Amino acid sequence: MQHRAVHIIVNPISGQGQNSRFVPELVRHLGLRGFLPKVEPTQHAGHAKELAHAVPDDAHCIISIGGDGTHREVLSGLVGRPVPLCVVPSGTENILAKTFRLLATLKDTLRRVQAGRVVAVDVGVANTHPFVLFSGIGFDAAVTKAVHENRTGRIIRDAYYGPIMRLLWQYRWPAITVTVDGRPLADDAGMVLVANTPLYADGLRLAAKAVADDGLLDVAAFRVRSRWQLLELFMVARLGGHMKHPRMAYAQGKRIEVTCSSEPSPAQIDGDTILTTPVMYTIVPRAVRLLV
C-alpha cells in the first residue's frame, strides 16, 4: 500500500499561519479517500530536504506546507526522482504557488492529490544548491539576509520595508560581473537575478521571458550603481518597461557565472540567503515533478 502513502511535510513556523485545523482536516479527508497520510514537521534548516529524501519512490506524493524556502528544500530532496510534490502555499510571497496558480484551500489540495496533472519542471543549481524559482545577488540578497537575521517567527511582508529603506542608504554597491555561457553580460551590476520562472516579489515579472521547463536560466543584470538608479529601474519594472531599459542587461543560458571583484556579495535562492559570490549556476532540465 506504499503507493497510497502521502507524506505531509509542514513547516510549523510558516505552515498555514494561524489555521491550526488545516493539517488535521487534511489528514482526515485523505484517510476518507483511502490514502495513508503521514505528518512530518520540520525541526531545523535543511530538515525538509532530509524528510523528502527519505520518502520512498513509490509514494503517491509529498504535500509541502510552508513558504517558498520550505518548498525549495523539499524539491531539493526530489531532484531526479519520480515522487510528485503538491505545494500548499503559506509563506510571505508564495511565488511558486502564484507561478502555477496553486491555492492554499483544503479543496484544491485534495483535488490535486487525487487527480492533479503532473508537470516536470527544471531545477537551477547555485554551486551545489538546487532552486526552482530564482536566485538574487547583490542588493536583493542583502535585504533578504537582513530580514532573516532578525527573524523571530513567521515573516510578514512588512518585515522587508525597514531593511529595504536602511540598505538603500547604507548599501555600498560593489560591482558584480556576469558571464553567460562564456559570454560577458555585465561587469557593473548592482543587483542580479538568475531565474527559472518569471515572477519576483510583489508581483513583478523581472525575468519576463523565463519558462520553467525550457532547459534555460534567465539572467537579469540591473546595471545600477546607486539607490536612485535602482529605484528608477524598479519603477519602470512595475510598468513593465524594464526589459528595454538601458540599465538592464538580459540573457538566457545554461551556465551563468556571477562574481564580485571587491568583496564577496550575498546571494539568495528562493528566499534563503545561504551563499556568497562567486556563484556558478547550471540547469537540470525537467528534474522535479509538481502536481498542478
Q: What's the per-residue H, E or C state across 165-233? A: HHHHHHCCCCCEEEEECCEEEEEEECEEEEECCCCCHHHCCCCCCCCCCCCCEEEEEECCCCHHHHHHH
pLDDT at 52 over 90: yes
Domains, in order of start, for the chain: 2-116 (3.40.50.10330), 129-286 (2.60.200.40)
The candidate with the shortest Cα–Cα distance to 81, out of 116, 123, 47, is 123
The predicted pLDDT at position 166 comes to 82
CA distance 139 to 33: 47
Region of poorest pLDDT, from 145-154, 168-177, 244-253, 266-275: 145-154
The predicted pLDDT at position 17 comes to 53
Q: How far is CA 203 from CA 34, 85, 286, in A?
A: 38, 23, 25
pTM over 0.75: yes
Q: Are 68 and 99 in contact (CB under 8 A)?
A: no
The candidate with the shortest Cα–Cα distance to 249, out of 280, 276, 209, 222, is 222
